[in-house]
Amino acid sequence: MLIKGYDVGPLVPGESLLVHPGFWSNYLMAMCSDGGCAERPVPEWFGEDGADADALSEVLFDPERWPVFRVPVEDGPGAVVIYRNLDGDYGTDYLLTHPGRSYVEQIASWDGDFSGTGLTWLELIRIADNPALAAEGVQDTVTRLLLLLPLLTDPDMPETASARLVAALTVVGAPQDTASIAAEHLLAHLTRRSRHDPTWESPLSGS
């Protein structure tokens, strides 16, 4: 797999990992692990256990294979998530693809903390709900939503957001009683770090 700007890493399609036990706790739990909550997040919130999470982390953070998750969109910018497994510089990069352009644009990264430009809830939903069915990558709208969730930097969330996130977590295996806990913690952390201001320009504008 080739993505311009990532020729130093052995990129491999990661979509098959999405259904493996331990994926979602690896991918989402770190976002609510900064000590800001009285309750410590655990893999069981996502219907997984510590052994699942540990086993899959060996795969996700393998320096010899950098998993890539593609979120293509039918009409408009899509997204790519890359596990950047450089020795001593592990992190997750979030890229946008633009129609008619041969290059990708990195808009954010996660290196123990979030940096970069995020998306509003409506922008996130717009990408999640419009898969390009003829393109390679993740087509399921629930999975797409959860993959894009770390990009959320919106202090003005609609009332429907929490219910949609709870439903999405339940679909991927979170128990009903802990899905609401996980959703509450995730949204609290994501909206608290909001970087939007009146002069902010959306990365989806292409500007």
Q: Calculate what percentage of the chain has a pLDDT beyond 70.
A: 87
Q: Calculate what percentage of the chain has a pLDDT beyond 90.
A: 63
Each residue's pLDDT tens digit, 94-135: 999 887 777 788 999 998 888 888 899 999 999 999 999 999
CB atoms inside a 10 Å sphere around CB 89: 8
Please give the DSSP secondary-structure letter assigned to residue 41: P
Instruction: Please name every residue paired with 115 in a beta bridge, in sequence order, or none if there are none.
Output: 109
Dist CA 171 CA 48 (whole Å): 13
Q: What is the pLDDT of residue 196?
A: 47
Name the 3-class secondary structure at 191.
helix
Q: What is the pLDDT of residue 104?
A: 83
Split at pLDDT 50, 70, 90, the class of 207 is: very low
Q: How remote is the C-alpha of 13 from its chain's centroid?
A: 15
Each residue's pLDDT tens digit, 126-139: 999 999 999 999 99
Q: What is the pLDDT of residue 152?
A: 92
Each residue's pLDDT tens digit, 173-200: 999 999 999 999 999 888 776 554 444 4
Dist CA 26 CA 46 (whole Å): 10
For residues 1-40, b (16+ Cβ closer than 10 Å) or e, as one string? eebeebeebebeebbebbeebbbbbbbbbbbbeeeeeeee
Dist CA 202 CA 199 (whole Å): 10
CA contacts within 13 A on the Cβ side of 9: 25
Split at pLDDT 50, 70, 90, the class of 8 is: low
